[in-house]
Structure 1
């Protein structure tokens, strides 16, 4: 009998298991994958997420993998160019974009070392209920016989197509339709650092260095172009780079060598899903998902896995009823993630910015100090309410000489 059964061993599940096991709880983690293995991902970890890895004693292992640090960010959006980096956030002065074969293995190994039992290659087919509460899981290894595992609590950390969410009947209560699709692959021969460029024709390119001397190159286009794009991915991929930043497109053709197949992310809608119930909870993309544009998937998985671990521990230790504690986790997750969710949904449409955001970001791009604040907000060190505070915006507009008729102070 386990205290907690976690389904899904990647960026939300293994940290949750690690933190619970370190507190003395008996934890089982199952995943249909075996590790190391790849998965479709943005790779990007914000400073806030890296601070979690450091606190868990895992950041040094990530750095030792050879993934290069990123200390300068270049972002452009429909004519607004912002280049710089945030001040240290929780002592973290850089960001990283590791391969998931590297990152997930570090997390799984750490959870196992902490005392969690890890079963790889196990596919969950159902959730066991007793007296109206989740009480275990049922599944199998490959084509083997069906097996059951019992636990006091079941957590779905099994991604956007969560089996656990489906089996417990977790309903969606906020859905924002997805706007884009993503193609990416890994290229050698380039040294572009981090680039996040959005053109005027509703398409975006992104580049960042990852493990093994490779650069991840991606693009986003609106969904209505998906069928036409997939008819000739190679040439269409190059064409988007040519159109968004012609000099990068030229260098890509001259020096870049694609080392792996293209991956495609045709993401589902942005959503919040009910993430707690009698004996169960959801964490990571299983309960809350947004477009990959802002790269917050991995970091949010870390942050809210830690939040859930804290609340599960309260319940398991008898400090308060466990369902009450987990309900508070879900409420706090929604409250704390709201601004990231809304900003991501807005900017990922690849459409012209609303006038207020255009005014603020255009001014911020002209101020080195406010550029740092912008990246501080993106990296999780400054709350959006602080960044967009009218008093701060007044000073920004005055600093950069924004015409008075362009000085918008509120989104309304």
Structure 2
């Protein structure tokens, strides 16, 4: 097989397989590597909003993803203490639905789709051990196959798409530009027989110092996640000893005034509960001579905001666009790095900052409670609020909607002079 490529992508899940597909379509020869074999699961949120579904449709994989039987949904119910924000996500890029598809289906389909492209060579079960460097530039990778064979591959660019604990990032020496540690422990379980009222919908609850999320997902299951402060030694011990009982008890006692307890009474755990104890919301230097980062390797955000999947898609497209704009990469590393960093920050910084707020155990201020109630009282503000998640609206749109409510103007009225 070939030993030299234009691009080596390390990590073949959402960010990596999407990047391999995009780079191949742009005319580059790509080697796609992953230490795992597919299908395989991984701990993550796995929700796509309408803007992401539009990109998946453009890639030619949406119909195959939907053929797994994973349901779509349009509605979300967000409860911030006594404020219940209930509405549908606004249409974006021609799409109205959302999709929360399990990684066992998602990653396998994306990997096979990327591997089927004419300019993509894909290898599963290959663990990168080292980056090869010459004259201060990364020029390839050295790693080991599952059978123990050690191999080297070279390329003009090596991209780390290998997750929040990226080995490529560490070996390349990427600088961490921002890091906000979480105050929460997160646990996730998949349940059958979870009963919602009305149409399928996503659920998010923040009550005092605890957070819960619920999404309808693949295989007739719901994914249920809970977050509580790391400093809460009692709950930490309960989850360590009996995680299923701890999750059910926390949902029963920690979310009074929500429908969670009743909906969980007949639910049955379908597979072991998994936890994530302590993590940073971080943002790293995205590119250097011969290397780049995409997906969680570049920036990891608190799972409560559910932006990781679509940012992986956006990041792959942005990186491909930047690289395609520069015919001579070796003469342009610094300029490309600056453009890539700026474009990624423009696209994703709002949601990164939102995640940094979610990740701290700070109670709502009285002003925040008032704003939450205003949003819940108005279909216009609810649509703008949900639109910030699927990027049909921005923070400015939400601010304007709230401003009209504060000023007492009717929805759709002109802004005060």
Aligned twin of 1:156: 160
CA distance in 2, matches of 1:311, 1:149: 23
Structure 1 residue 49, shift from structure 2 partner: 1.6
Aligned twin of 2:91: 88
Structure 1 residue 267, shift from structure 2 partner: 4.5
Question: 1:275-354 alignment to 2 at 5 Å?
Answer: 275-316=286-327, 321=332, 323-354=334-365
CA distance in 2, matches of 1:153, 1:133: 9
Structure 1 residue 232, shift from structure 2 partner: 2.6
Normalised TM-score (structure 1): 0.91
Which residue of 123, 130, 147 maps to 1:126? 130
Distance 1:181 1:280, change over 3 A: same
CA distance in 2, matches of 1:248, 1:384: 29
Structure 2 contact 305–355 (Cα < 8 Å) conserved? yes
Structure 1 residue 396, shift from structure 2 partner: 1.9
Structure 1 residue 350, shift from structure 2 partner: 4.5
Aligned twin of 1:406: none
Structure 1 residue 68, shift from structure 2 partner: 0.4
Aligned twin of 2:405: 396
CA distance in 2, matches of 1:316, 1:233: 53
CA distance in 2, matches of 1:268, 1:83: 30
Structure 1 contact 312–325 (Cα < 8 Å) conserved? yes
CA distance in 1, matches of 2:186, 2:71: 23
Q: Deviations over 1:93-125 (max 9, x none)?
A: 010100001111111111111231111000001
Structure 1 residue 189, shift from structure 2 partner: 1.1
Structure 2 contact 18–316 (Cα < 8 Å) conserved? yes
Q: Which runs of 5+ in 1 are unaligned?
A: 402-408
Structure 1 residue 181, shift from structure 2 partner: 1.6
CA distance in 2, matches of 1:267, 1:45: 24
CA distance in 2, matches of 1:323, 1:21: 24
Normalised TM-score (structure 2): 0.90
Structure 1 residue 127, shift from structure 2 partner: 0.6
Which residue of 140, 145, 148 maps to 1:144? 148
Which residue of 200, 217, 226 maps to 1:210? 217
| Equivalent position SS for 1:220 | strand
CA distance in 1, matches of 2:142, 2:329: 27
| Equivalent position SS for 1:315 | coil
Distance 1:3 1:29, change over 3 A: same
CA distance in 2, matches of 1:356, 1:287: 34
RMSD of aligned alpha carbons? 2.1
Aligned twin of 1:240: 250
Q: Deviations over 1:106-163 (max 9, x none)?
A: 1111111123111100000111111111100010112513210000111000011111
Aligned twin of 1:71: 74
Q: Which runs of 5+ in 2 are unaligned?
A: 411-415
Structure 1 residue 318, shift from structure 2 partner: 7.5
Structure 1 contact 284–304 (Cα < 8 Å) conserved? yes
| Equivalent position SS for 1:19 | helix
CA distance in 2, matches of 1:152, 1:22: 17
